[in-house]
Amino acid sequence: MLASGLIIFSVADWHERTVPFFSFTGWCLTLLVCFPHDLFGMMLLAVMIGGLAVVSQGLGSADVMLIALLACVLRLEAALIVTLIACGTACLHWIAARPPSLPMISHLAAGYACFALVNGIL
């Protein structure tokens, strides 16, 4: 369920640089209900990433929600690793293509795919 939603919303983010609000929020709430979660990790990461988004004005609210959701569904350490991989792929994307904006949800999906392949989740 997590991987399929990441694929769906990463395609939307790649093409339109936005995701549908109600679908994305519904998917996030469904994952929060279905998976055991770490509320402390989610809140800590949401505050840190939310603060970064406010200061840099570079992350959208869906990006912050997804990173917090990953911290909630996965362990906090796993979410930080996925985010680090996503930042690396976003950096490579920017170096190669120099787009005016980066689809961070797509890079988070790629980061999760790399993390899942290494850990045998997929």
Residue 112 and residue 115: Cα distance in Å, rounded?
A: 5
Q: Which of 7-21, 29-43, 48-62, 105-119 has the lowest mean pLDDT?
A: 48-62
Supply the pTM of this predicted model.
Answer: 0.83
Query: How many residues belong to the chain?
Result: 122
| pLDDT for the residue numbered 44 | 72
Both tokens assigned to 30: 């469904």
DSSP 120: T
Both tokens assigned to 94: 């920017």
**CA distances for 117 relative to 12, 82, 114, 120, angstroms:** 23, 12, 5, 5
Residue 37 and residue 74: Cα distance in Å, rounded?
A: 7
